[in-house]
Chain A
């Protein structure tokens, strides 16, 4: 062991894209690897939980956690890593805001299990087996992690020092975050390590957005061939750039696809989805209620659209639940 700073990576409810993002640092990864000791990284390195438990408290300089929290195991692990780390970073939209898995908050465990294990068209489960936390087989009892009704962002479980936004975070932000950590030149606790201004500020197409935009029909990306120089909102595509933090360099828009909001809100916004919905609603070019309804019908999945990455972290958190939260 050297005395290089120790860094850990961990994943919770996530797709693996954030791990890819770390690898996407390409040559820069080598520089990071040379500067630090990676002491824990389940996706790449063979360390166990016991190795972490054996560390001193605060021994790790920084742990980057990606993924949302939806199982007891994930919660345990982040508490453990919190204890062992000087700095805990929510890495990516799921850890920061709940992410795509957070849309599960429109249902509860029972409904999710029923769909995933019993009723989905591709499921073949005649015995009706659903996940259990306690199971006996061949004379052995095994315990499995419990599954929460509600998906949580990392900061709803433990204290988070910084967040790197994105689905997934972009290499420039990761490099900057790592650089800041290693240099010790850190902003105030709680800062999201990206510009605190909306995406339009760095969008090449901003000047093409009219001041008096009136949308009479929302389009979906597959329905039109969008002009690649004009503001996508002006073309009826639902671009959430106005309600989304900058920092990605407007990459999606560069590929002629609208912003879906993965960088989350700016620090001044309490609820990205509500802000985005009201901003978009204000562009509806009609006064007649029936006409307004027709135009809004062009947004087939409002929650999935406006709260795609942040339902757990929104003011709503989840759909109203009549049952008391338990873990199965």
Chain B
């Protein structure tokens, strides 16, 4: 595993970057450069103000040609920023770009130290290590793999819908997988959207219909991804279709079967209305559901419980023959080049904060329930009526329920202030009630948001800056509930009786986010939301190539941001597909077959399932390999090597750092 030219006959160029004063402030760049010039194998050492600038890069290219350099070290910032830049400069000079080593003296040096002498000494150590290591680098070629032209979008909320349509409009085939009987997600449940007060359904349902009718979209509802195999460009995804007990292609959406169901009234809490109404065993989630296909709930339908009944639904369906009580789960397996995850969120379970009385007092609602109450298509056709039949004269909205609270979730859910303002406006408009918002901080950034806040304030909605500590029934059987909070602006306790309490519950990861994370081999941030590859520079990518994130599965956000992000995820997926093939980093691991004992230690260690045991030897699929190095470290007989991280390179680097110690 030795490099082509080692010890003495290498010609290394070292370039130390000032990065303006970013590095040159706390580090004596000239001293580091002078030191580098004396290291074995170094024939040129230069300092430059901005190595990443064109003249900086040209220094490298020029020296390769003039000085015959065959190895290059740049001491500057993090490789994640400019490794590619300098590799290109090295390649431009005609040297294999992997005969290059980047040394990070900014993030690891000048930015974390202020003692010039010590920081300079450390920079010298790091440069020495880089020089020692680069001598062992071998020329490498990036690998090129083809990309399948189709994509999968998982989750049919507004994020998934927008991503799927964007991809489909660009001519790509999209499989849109949604586990509910309809697409639409949470947005379909909302009444109006802040801050413009557009009708959510009016802007959403045309997009839902487009999905249904798009020739490039295969829509699978009541479907879930159960297996993901393969790798970027060629994922093989297995999808499980739950039985709907309706033959989707045969159902015309006439809904006659619902009318004739032997249940004259629904008995099952309606999921779409959050249990505020009841539905029948055969139902459609909401009038504009897509697909316009009914669904049978086998838990509720007596045909499943007792059998041999009248089957009025079958009778009325007649020769359309769309009802099939024998349906069982089926599976599909498809190959796609990229995957967009848009699996959404769940709202915080308000029952977790017992002193707010949700589930105990009838007139405590969650915000999502109120969305249904104020919605003209909701269980009360838009009338705000309490569970006891009264119209509220006063409403208290408690912000940050399950957000910004160390006992539940520490994150801000970003949307609750704004939707609370929206609900305050709508309730006031519909009932004329006095509305009190109990908030910690009002957070209204974004276009038109602060203006909306001012508008709602001018409408006479009350704002009390304080966290509600207790909700309890008012004395004297008034049916009202008292909200008790310390008004931190007035500096005293307020006790405000209201007819209706609305809990502005926050956004949480889906309860099965961990399973989905594992299925798609991605990572989660601390709170359980899926983690982006880089919060600023790769916000919709994941650490798994070809898997992108859209919407609230990545973190709380509102509809405009969700749609923007879904568009970005679709664009990233398109870029991948349209390139036709992709180049992969060659820093992958490989097994030296003659050295492998077939002990199988590595196989279970690989987080990417890239290793197989074939004919008594481990074999690494280099397309699946992400170069994490786990198997290399784990191989008990040293039979696995990794490009750019072979033992000689690493040991030389360590020695280089420690040699003066």
> Do A and B bind?
yes
* Cβ of B601 under 8 Å from chain A: yes
Q: How far is the CA of A201 from the CA of B613 in the complex (A)?
A: 13
Contact with A along B564-587 (1 / 0, CB 8 A): 000000000000000000000000
Distance (Å) between the CB of B419 and the closest chain A CB?
38
Cα-based distance from A213 to B601 in the complex (angstroms): 9
Count A-side interface residues using an 8 Å CB cutoff: 30
Asked if B616 is at the interface (CB within 8 A of a chain A CB), the reply is yes
Interface flags, B628-650, vs A, CB<8A=1, else 0: 00000111111100000001000
Total interface residues in chain B, CB < 8 Å: 22
A209: B residues at CB distance < 8 A: 599-600
Write the B126-161 contact mask toward A (1 if CB under 8 angstroms, else 0): 000000000000000000000000000000000000
In-complex Cβ contact of B599 among A198, A212, A245, A268 (8 A): A198
A206 pairs with B633, CB closer than 8 A: no
Chain B residue with minimal CB distance to A207? B616
Which of chain A's residues have a CB closer than 8 A to the CB of B601?
242, 279, 282-283
Q: Which of B598, B600, B604, B637 contacts A268 (CB 8 A)?
A: B637
- In angstroms, how far is the closest chain A Cβ from the Cβ of B433? 51
Q: Do B638 and A212 have beta carbons less than 8 Å apart?
A: no
Binds B, one of A88-96, A104-112, A269-277: A269-277
A276–B601 CA distance with the chains assembled, in angstroms: 10
Is the C-beta of B595 less than 8 angstroms from some C-beta in chain A? yes
B597 and A279 within 8 A (CB): no
CA distance A283 to B636 in the complex (A): 12
Listed in ascending order, the chain B residues whose CB lies under 8 Å from chain A are: 594-601, 603-605, 613, 616, 633-639, 647, 651
A211 with B600: CB separation less than 8 A: yes
**Chain A positions within 8 Å of B635 at CB level:** 275, 279
Which of A211, A246, A265, A283 interacts with B638 by CB under 8 Å? A265
Residues of B within 8 A of A210 (CB): 600
Selected from A199, A212, A267, A270, the residue in CB contact (under 8 A) with B597 is: A199
Nearest 7 interchain pairs by C-beta: A268-B638, A198-B597, A243-B636, A242-B599, A198-B637, A200-B599, A279-B636
7 new A-B contacts, CB < 8 A, other than A266-B639, A268-B637, A283-B604, are: A197-B597, A201-B598, A266-B638, A268-B595, A268-B638, A275-B637, A275-B638
Contact with B along A69-93 (1 / 0, CB 8 A): 0000000000000000000000000
A-B contact pairs, 5 of them (CB 8 A): A198-B637, A206-B599, A213-B600, A241-B597, A275-B637
A172 at the interface (CB under 8 A from B): no
In the assembly, what is the distance between CA of A197 and CA of B594, in Å?
8
Is there an interface contact between B597 and A268, defined as CB atoms closer than 8 Å? no
- A133: B residues at CB distance < 8 A: none
Whether the pair A278, B651 counts as a contact (CB closer than 8 A) is no
For A272, the closest partner residue in chain B by CB is B636
Q: Give the residues in chain A near B603, CB-CB below 8 Å.
A: 211-212
Contact of B604 with A211 in the complex, beta carbons under 8 Å: yes
Contacts A196-B595, A211-B600, A282-B601; is A266 near B633 (CB within 8 Å)?
no
Complex CA distance for A279 and B647, rounded to whole angstroms: 17
**With contacts A211-B613, A265-B638, A278-B634 known, is A241 near B604, CB below 8 A?**
no
Q: Which has the most chain A C-beta neighbours within 10 Å: B601, B634, B637, B647? A: B637
From A196, A199, A201, A246, residue with most partner B Cβ within 10 Å: A201
Specify which of B598, B639, B651 is in contact with A206 (CB 8 Å cutoff).
B598
B600–A278 touching, CB < 8 Å: no
Give A15 to B651 CA distance when docked, in angstroms. 35
CB pair A212–B637 under 8 Å, yes or no, is: no
Give CA–CA (A198, B594) in the complex, Å.
11
Given contacts A206-B598, A213-B600, contact A197 B637 (CB under 8 A): yes
Contacts of B636 in A (CB 8 A): 198, 242-243, 269, 275-276, 278-279
Check if B647 sits within 8 Å of A197, measured CB to CB: no
Known: A211-B600, A270-B647. A197 touches B639 (CB 8 A): yes
